[in-house]
A and B are shown apart, each in its own frame.
Chain A
């Protein structure tokens, strides 16, 4: 998991100082080096604060990890300052209740999402299992899957954990949208459900069924009439997934 370090600007308009702080977002793992309290932070329980670090310098707080990274690595930082502040501003503009988390209604208020066939599934992908609220960290984590893969990262060391935006992880994200019951297989039913969402009302059930059968039959190699993750990856091997699943966060 990659380290995202953020310095959130003080006094963000509309947030009246509650966001002064900095976060160490280690995907899923609390940083053991982040100190839990800091004198200079006004509201440590602000949105998405996984841990707060004080540096004693008045204008900026940086997580201890950051000092370890060299300046060169900082240039290639996964999501840069401006991108994170930009996403945070988007998060707060979606968060109408101003409680630092997003609910499903907040997502459903986005008009273009209402007419996206996969709208509901995409929204669900943001929420961790069984929960109804997502904080900024979860929001960022999901969006981190869609960061473009930079060329200089491809030759990085293979020892570290795989970055969230690798090709395999991107495909895994998409696979999880198909596979609702999380059995690591796309069954015929699940495929049919997705197909029905993506296709107009003029197609009859039999036609849809035959399309689903054809899809499974093309991909299935171990004969279980379902698509496993490996088979899914194989089907898409000729497709430029890196480009199809990447957003340029900056214009």
Chain B
């Protein structure tokens, strides 16, 4: 038995296998994902595994190595988020997102740091030796909202597109701020004295980190687009370039102490439209599916490891500190959202309602990034206290907030219901008007900051397209590509299966039957049971307009949802 030889790959594969089997297991029982979010279940599985390992070996199970997390597990998730990020809502709300990400995070960091320092001054808690700097350091790593956890939980609750993109965009972009503050405070810890020059250097560093990350990302993105211009004869390795360049951008940014997350997002968003035009349809599909697959696996592994690492002897349980940490996290986030939203609403016509504010504040979940950062802290006497506090905060946000956010959202929505249910006619006409408005908005190109977009479009058509696209014809969007693909395959399949032919009504048939059927139907229509049936049918089957659903989903590809396919096929048939 030569276990030593294969140990490392074998164990890695076993962990991934466990993660995937766990995922299958949850979805076997249909009701479970709606009550408990998947992330909670995964942490739970991790806790069980950790407990087993601890019991067997009688020592702490392997703590998730921060290198593994930052270098291998995080990039696929962020790449997936960046590549499928819907650019229109993102750039429409970029001002708000940046405000929340930068100002909100700084507010949280200092708020939590100072209040915890205040708590430490209380003699009864025996926390005198935790200095202000340590508290600020802790604040900087606990304040950041985590994209992995946010995504996992927001999948379950159905919020509208704008809200989804606000929280999600904020969680991605606050990485720059977190990185800077964390490194800043850590270097302050090691310096004997702190001069104000150092503080200013810190502020300057923030801009360098953020903008540098964007620059690195865009450079690699453009290079990737340029490379794919020449891959016409080697279609098979085209998808590889997408992943290689993105990963390189992440690593390069990390090498220069810039923000890797911002770099990889900039790279993905920058290269997407050129790469999609250059690579073949099959490579395109491969890229999309591999991205989704890797990000799913990473996601699952992170949560399981989180659970495993919780068990063990790494913790010092000082309950007052821990409880106050949790309380302050909630309080400062709520305050921050309130104040910032007040400013945002002054400048925008589309206000953020109080229900939205609640969701933003309550949806500020912490996750694995905090966990890894706390393990990266230099070893000082109170490190285990911080580890314990971080663990509790993460478990609290994921379990308590994750599980209760959906009932709370439903509760808030119920309060605004109308007194009387809308009539059938009203329902249909309202949905009709909604679709009409969505269409008109799309035609009028409803955009904010269109000045910069127009400039960018001009720059794009003049220079970039000629350089980066192989065939400079009308660039087709992914929807149009999908439409053509469907036109070839599905329309034939479904027509052959007879399904569409049956349900599409021919006007001629309808006319013949109408006279006979009309009298009977009118009487039926008065029947209240039929009315209920109709209401139910409509509620289930009317197509939803785009803006009411989440803009980005971990598990489905955009444009391949069932309604989209059906609409495309029906329109093809009617042309």
Contacts and interface: CB of A to CB of B under 8 A. Distances in A.
Contact of A200 (B424, B450, B541, B546): B541
A201 B500 contact: yes
Interface size class of A (residues with CB under 8 A): 35 or more
Contacts of B454: 89, 93
Contact of B440 (A111, A146, A201): A146
A114 B479 contact: yes
Interface residues of B, number: 76
* Chain A residues touching B, majority SS: helix
B425 A241 contact: no
A198 B432 contact: yes
A118 to B, nearest CB: 5
Contacts of A37: none
A113 B424 contact: no
Contacts of B327: none
Interface in B434-479: 434-450, 454, 457-458, 461, 474, 477-479
Contacts of B517: 209
Interface string B349-383: 11000000000000000000000000000000000
Contacts of A116: 435, 438-439, 442, 567
A189 B566 CA distance: 21
Given A86-B450, A90-B445, A111-B480, A196 B505 contact: yes
A25 B336 CA distance: 48
Contacts of B437: 146, 244-245, 247
A148 to B, nearest CB: 9
Given A198-B435, A215-B428, A249-B446, 11 more contacts: A109-B480, A113-B439, A118-B439, A146-B444, A194-B432, A198-B543, A202-B541, A207-B534, A213-B525, A214-B425, A244-B433
A207 B541 CA distance: 12
Interface in A195-239: 195-205, 207-211, 213-215, 217-219, 225, 232, 235-236, 238-239
Contacts of A204: 503
7 contacts: A112-B479, A117-B543, A189-B511, A201-B500, A202-B541, A215-B424, A239-B433
Interface string B524-556: 111000110010011001110010000000000
Contacts of A109: 474, 480
Given A201-B503, A205-B505, A211-B424, A236 B429 contact: yes
Nearest to B438: A116
A247 B350 CA distance: 11
Interface of B: 92, 348-350, 423-426, 428-450, 454, 457-458, 461, 474, 477-480, 483, 499-500, 503-505, 507, 510-511, 514, 517-518, 521-522, 524-526, 530-531, 534, 537-538, 541-543, 546, 559, 562-564, 566-568, 570-571, 574
A143 interface: yes
A247 B457 CA distance: 23
Given A248-B350, A249-B444, A115 B537 contact: no
Nearest to B93: A251
A90 B567 CA distance: 26
A52 interface: no
A199 B439 contact: no
Contact of A115 (B431, B479, B503, B530): B479
A57 B357 CA distance: 51
Contacts of B479: 111-112, 114-115
Contact of A247 (B424, B444, B514, B531): B444
